[in-house]
Amino acid sequence: MSRSHQSRGMICSLFSGRAHWASAGHPRYPLVGLAAMCVVGLVAALVVAGEKAPRTGGTLKIAWVGEPPTLDIHKSTTTSTRRLAWHMFERLFTFDEQYNLIPELAEGYEVSSDGKTYTVRLRKGVLFHNGNELTAEDVIASLKRWMDNDPIPKNYLIPDLEALEATGPHAFEIRLKQPNGATIDFLASIAQGPVIYPKEVIEEAGKDQIKRFIGTGPYQFVEYLPDRHIRLKRFDRYSARSEAANGYGGKRAAYLDELIFYPVADVAVRAAGVEAGDFDVAIEVSTDDYDRFANHPLVDPVIAGPAAYVVFVPNKKSPTMGNVKIRQALLAAIDVEPLMKVAFGDQRFYRLDCSILMKETAWWSQAGCELYNQKNVQKAKQLLQEAGYDGTPIRWITTQVYQQMYKTSVAVKSQLEAAGFKIDLQVLDWATLSKKRYEADFYDVFVTYFTYRPSPVLFYTVLAKTWAGFWDNPKKDELIVQTLRATDQKRQFELWSQLQRLIYEDVPFVRTGDFFDLHLKRKEVKNLTNKPEVFFWNVWIEP
């Protein structure tokens, strides 16, 4: 079933890719007709596949990767936080199957002709879990708190913002000093995104984390027992959208009575739990075991993604990596395929791609791609010579907490040493690494990964000069500003491509290939997503 979905999805994405360009300007939705065709196609695929109607009831037990540091999405960029908490909390906009913006809590929006005023209409009759109706007051309070916390709007929206005001119980205005073409994209941000909490919850939290978990989502909070489980139950008065489910948006149905998330740190135990029937779903299991899962009579493996790509981030303040020629040598020397093989094994779980934003989005660009995956040892050697590299060991910090980061680091070491680099590989735990990468004199390169981001603005955090690696480049800043000013999508795309080219020329980081996650589910669990961000609305259990 998931295969037919996938191929159908690709055809749809071809369609809407074109639709996207045709509909340049505001509002940025794909042509309705084509979208409708895709929906019809999907429904047809379901019928052909002989899928039974969804069933209501049952408890879904989920072996989760680990304890989320918090359930307050405004307060954290971690995947574990948002993928769990977004069953309870919703945003104004989200992304559809092809990563186009679609409304979620919003009904729609209008932009004034000068591009400086956005009027967003809210859906009426949406209830919070405490029974109160969602109003513009809650939205304004939530957006203000989110802007205070998330560096993306702080850096790229607030400077343009004149006012954020309710214009009625179900509408509000974003007034800008100058046009900002990414305004709605910000509102759809997934990581540390602008989810809507009730105003009183925000007021009671002050500067701290929220104390009560009340949202508008299909599931509501029941209990959180640290290291034991987090339990959510169906919100009976949930107001779902009327459109069919589409990507992260459309109709969300809570078919299950309860969702229970168990933090299970050990990857083998997560998988074994599903095989033995203790859990219904396990998130991120080992790709090495794919064949065994595929042949198992009671479970199905689900390849989801693309999840992310591993990046090597040179420290632009270090004496060696501060030199752009040495960074270019790093880029030239790398042969991506062997790294991916070492880290992910089977080709089903990775693919090579040079685009900074992923293939499935409208932002997929080939700019600068001749500099990706060069495998050019000679060129690297020459660049090192020109740079006067004297063999000073490159302090390369990585972590075993995320095996992909560790394995790719080990594999790339020999490639780089063949080109004349001397690599001093240092393994730290994640908490240490994520702190040390802000200490400019501690390291020369660190390893991390960039998760899937459907829009350039959601990528800007890691381009900021305050972010680890310290990329200070006036041309980059200029391009970012220009991209924000552009309101026409074609122009935005051109500017983003120029920015991507700059990334390949100035090498603030080196991208490897995209990788996919492997989830495991019992066969009776139906309709589990294969999208990068996992969710359990629209999932049901066939008894």
Q: What is the smallest separation between the CB atom of 311 and other proteins, expressed in angstroms? A: 11
d(CA 111, CA 66): 42
Asked if 303 interacts with other proteins (CB under 8 A), we say: no
Total binding residues toward other proteins, as defined by CB under 8 A: 49
d(CA 381, CA 247): 46
Q: What is the smallest separation between the CB atom of 169 and other proteins, expressed in angstroms? A: 33
Asked if 264 interacts with other proteins (CB under 8 A), we say: yes
* SS3 of 191-256: CCCCCCCCHHHHHHHCCCCCCCCCCCCCEEEEEEECCCEEEEEECCCCCCCCCCCECCECCCCCCC
Q: The tokens of 258 are what? A: 């309860």
List of long-range contacts for 344-348, beta carbons under 8 Å, 24+ apart: 344/287, 344/404, 344/515, 344/516, 345/287, 345/288, 346/287, 346/290, 348/287, 348/290, 348/303, 348/516
Which backbone phi and psi does 268 adopt, to 5 degrees? Answer: -70, -35
Asked if 297 interacts with other proteins (CB under 8 A), we say: no
Between 165 and 266, name the residue whose CB sits nearer to other proteins. 266
Between 50 and 226, name the residue whose CB sits nearer to other proteins. 226
Nearest Cα residue to 26 out of 107, 112, 85, 89: 112
Within 437-456, the residues that bind other proteins by CB under 8 A are 438, 448
Asked if 461 interacts with other proteins (CB under 8 A), we say: yes
Q: Which of 59, 77, 112, 382 binds other proteins (CB under 8 A)?
A: 77
Question: Which one-letter DSSP state was computed for residue 51?
Answer: P
Asked if 231 interacts with other proteins (CB under 8 A), we say: no
Stretch that binds other proteins, among 8-16, 201-209, 419-427, 494-502 (CB under 8 A): 201-209
Asked if 473 interacts with other proteins (CB under 8 A), we say: no
Strands 171-176 and 161-168: antiparallel
Asked if 69 interacts with other proteins (CB under 8 A), we say: yes
Q: What is the smallest separation between the CB atom of 398 and other proteins, expressed in angstroms? A: 14
Q: Is there a contact between 354 and 368 (Cβ–Cβ < 8 Å)?
A: yes
Asked if 207 interacts with other proteins (CB under 8 A), we say: yes
Q: Which of 93, 109, 219, 262 binds other proteins (CB under 8 A)?
A: 262
Asked if 27 interacts with other proteins (CB under 8 A), we say: no
Query: 490: Cβ–Cβ under 8 A, 6 or more apart, which residues?
Result: 21, 24
Peptide bond into 68 cis (omega under 30): no
Stretch that binds other proteins, among 32-40, 204-212, 236-244, 376-384 (CB under 8 A): 204-212
Asked if 266 interacts with other proteins (CB under 8 A), we say: yes
Within 389-428, the residues that bind other proteins by CB under 8 A are 428
Stretch that binds other proteins, among 50-58, 338-346, 466-474, 514-522 (CB under 8 A): 466-474
d(CA 191, CA 349): 23
Q: What is the smallest separation between the CB atom of 154 and other proteins, expressed in angstroms? A: 9
Longest dimension (CA), the chain: 68
Between 181 and 263, name the residue whose CB sits nearer to other proteins. 263
Q: Which of 10, 22, 268, 418 binds other proteins (CB under 8 A)?
A: 268
- Burial of 39 from C-beta contacts in 10 A (0-12 / 13-18 / 19+): middle
Q: Which of 43, 276, 294, 418 binds other proteins (CB under 8 A)?
A: 276
Between 69 and 169, name the residue whose CB sits nearer to other proteins. 69
Q: Which residue has the tokens 């020397």?
A: 333
Asked if 75 interacts with other proteins (CB under 8 A), we say: yes
Asked if 340 interacts with other proteins (CB under 8 A), we say: no
Q: Which of 269, 324, 352, 410 binds other proteins (CB under 8 A)?
A: 269
d(CA 394, CA 422): 6
Helix residue ranges, H only, 49-135: 79-85
Nearest Cα residue to 179 out of 126, 123, 111, 128: 111
Q: Which of 59, 70, 286, 426 binds other proteins (CB under 8 A)?
A: 70
Asked if 226 interacts with other proteins (CB under 8 A), we say: yes
Q: Which of 51, 67, 137, 257 binds other proteins (CB under 8 A)?
A: 67
DSSP codes, 336-366: HHHHHHHHH-SGGGEE----SS-TTSTT---
Judged by the rule CB under 8 A, the positions of this chain that interact with other proteins are 67, 69-70, 75-78, 81, 149, 151, 191-192, 207-209, 225-228, 262-266, 268-269, 272-273, 275-278, 428-436, 438, 448, 461-462, 464, 466-468
